[in-house]
Amino acid sequence: MKNIRLILVLAIVGLVGCSNSPDFKSVVIAQLNFARGSTDKMLDEMEKTGKADQVLTWRAGPGRAPIGWQIMHLAATEDRFANKLLHNGTAVSETWIKEFESGKPAGDSVPKMAEVRKYLKDTRAALEKSIMDFDLSKLDAKPAAEVPFDNRRIFQIMLWHEPHHQGQALATFNLYKAGHH
pLDDT one digit per residue (tens) for the chain, 181 residues = 555 554 554 455 445 444 555 589 999 999 999 999 999 999 999 999 999 999 999 999 998 999 999 999 999 999 998 887 777 678 999 999 999 998 888 888 899 999 999 999 999 999 999 999 999 999 999 888 888 889 999 999 999 999 999 999 999 999 999 999 7
pTM of the predicted model as reported, rounded to 2 decimal places: 0.85
At CA 151, angle to CA 79 and CA 116, rounded to 5? 15
At CA 139, angle to CA 16 and CA 161, rounded to 5? 70
Give pLDDT, residue 124: 95
- At a CB cut-off of 8 Å and minimum separation 6, what does 20 contact? 136
Q: Confirm if 101 and 80 have CB atoms less than 8 A apart.
A: yes
- In this structure, the number of other CB atoms found within 10 A of the CB of residue 106 comes to 18
Give pLDDT, residue 6: 47
Spatial distance between the Cα atoms of 28 and 132, rounded to a whole number of angstroms:
10
Give pLDDT, residue 145: 81
Give pLDDT, residue 29: 95
Q: Confirm if 39 and 74 have CB atoms less than 8 A apart.
A: yes
139 burial via Cβ count (<10 Å: 0-12, 13-18, 19+):
middle
CATH 2.40.33.20 fits 2-179, yes or no: no
- In this structure, the number of other CB atoms found within 10 A of the CB of residue 37 comes to 10
Spatial distance between the Cα atoms of 6 and 48, rounded to a whole number of angstroms:
32
- Start-to-end CA distance of the chain, whole Å, equals 32
Spatial distance between the Cα atoms of 5 and 102, rounded to a whole number of angstroms:
30
Give pLDDT, residue 21: 58
Give pLDDT, residue 83: 81
